[in-house]
Chains A and B, each alone.
Chain A
Amino acid sequence: MLITGAYQTKFGELWDKSLSDLIFEAGSNAMKDAGVKPAEVDLVLVGNMLSGQLEGQEHLGAVAAEALGINQAAAMRVEAACASGGVAVNQAVNAIKAGAAKTALVIGAEKMTDKSSGEVALSLMGAASEAERQAGLTFVGLYGLMARVYFDRFGLKKDDLAHVAVKNHRHASLNPKAQYPYAVDLETVLKSSCVASPLHLFDCAPITDGAAAIVIQSVKSEGRGAKRGVEIAASQVATDSVSLTKRQSLVEIGATKTAVKKAYLEAGVEASEVDVAEVHDCFSIAEIMAVEDLGFCKKGEGAKAIKRGEFDFGGRLPVNLSGGLKACGHPVGATGVKQVVELALQLRGEAGERQVKGAKVGLAHNVGGSGGTAVVHLLKKI
């Protein structure tokens, strides 16, 4: 199973692009990259969370098929909150494994800037439970509750979070597709205003428009892209309770641990063999927990390791070279697919200024909500 085509649109406040425009741009360019014609695609999956709430548009599979001129494929939308993109990739992989498709086009897309931030904040609460919505817990608030417990458990302070944003912005300055392709200094991050304690503005991913797409083909297929193919060595989804109150622990995301364990097993790979990773930094605390949950460092050591530069470009395991969700941007449904696109570029040697030399194994980690869903993909250079 190979990724033969990969493409990401520019992420940002794309006022003149509609959701359909974004789907079209990502899908058509990914097919072009794979050397695949619309008629050859037999499965289209669209990862998206908010199109219904924000613009009243459902039925995205058919919308994408129309936009891309794909008439004969099975097309449908996949939704798992912020893990919509990653789960869409997983569903394509499963369909191909089952022989139900040979050439799948997976698009992750989100259009968020047509509505006010208050309305978007409300709609993002759809990733949480009814009780959490009733309590007025914003998405930031949910991670704020986790951060508070993490702080008390591991002696972390609010200022320790800042290194995540500094690192990811530095990486984004090497990525022309990022929403914020420039570095920020520590002071700027530390001075930013509180959103939901203890998380401040620079601890949070922005509101973003954007799309990304990949073409996955079963190995037997041929085409221009097959020569630059990247293998999907593992694709695993795990879930945990949607409610934060029903989790076993608030200082880790259990679904991540479950998914990555299954993924490492499926790919026959250990954490130490991962050369480059894209992890789900919807908030700084999320990246800190992610590097621990994925086995990149010990529990409680994440913030220190990030501060020391272990996960920097040039460090022992570069994390979020795209800029992550924080600096590349987080068009919710697109992120999971974008992460896979970024890894594909790295493993093909096409990542330009942010290329990790000799990268062979990449890990993509995508989370839905406060940890109700987690998806881990392991990609290998062939």
Chain B
Amino acid sequence: MKAVSVWRRQKTNYQNLGIVGKVVSKTRIIEAPQGFVGPYWVVMVAAPLRSESFEGQERVVGQWADVVEPKIGMKVVGVLRRIGEAGSSGVIEYGVKWKQL
């Protein structure tokens, strides 16, 4: 049941809320897979914001949630959004997407 895995992921889904980071890579998904509505940007963010290179730093991937286009090096913050597609009857999953700071 998807409800259970959504519940279990609550522990980690909100971790990066409010975290400030830097975009180190991006890709615009034009051909979306089943269950996703494209097109959308996915970014790789390095956080916490400290050094120039991302080697050895903690990195996360997530969807982009801003009206402006993400750019490499952009300072970003994690915001709460719906993730996945719950349809009209499923349990809704929330997680962190990224927005320009």
Contacts and interface: CB of A to CB of B under 8 A. Distances in A.
Interface of A: 116-119, 121-122, 125, 130-132, 134-138, 140-141, 144-149, 152, 193-198, 244-246, 248-250
Given A118-B34, A197-B30, 9 more contacts: A117-B31, A122-B33, A134-B83, A136-B36, A136-B40, A137-B27, A137-B61, A144-B27, A195-B31
Given A132-B61, A136-B63, A244-B61, A195 B44 contact: no
B25 A149 contact: yes
Contacts of A246: 59
Interface residues of B, number: 29
A121 B33 contact: yes
Contacts of B32: 118, 121, 136, 138
B55 interface: yes
Contacts of B9: 130
Contacts, number: 90
Nearest to B62: A135
A129 B67 CA distance: 27
Interface of B: 9, 24-36, 40, 42, 44, 55-56, 58-63, 72, 83-84, 95
A145 B26 contact: yes
Nearest to A201: B31
8 contacts: A117-B31, A118-B34, A136-B40, A136-B42, A141-B29, A144-B29, A145-B61, A197-B26
A196 B61 contact: no
A136 B33 contact: yes
A196 to B, nearest CB: 5
Contacts of A136: 29, 32-33, 36, 40, 42, 63
Contact of B31 (A121, A147, A248): A121
Contact of A121 (B34, B60, B84): B34
A135 B55 contact: no
A260 B53 CA distance: 27
Contacts of A245: 44, 58-61
B29 A250 contact: no
A248 B60 CA distance: 14
Contact of A135 (B30, B42, B59): B42
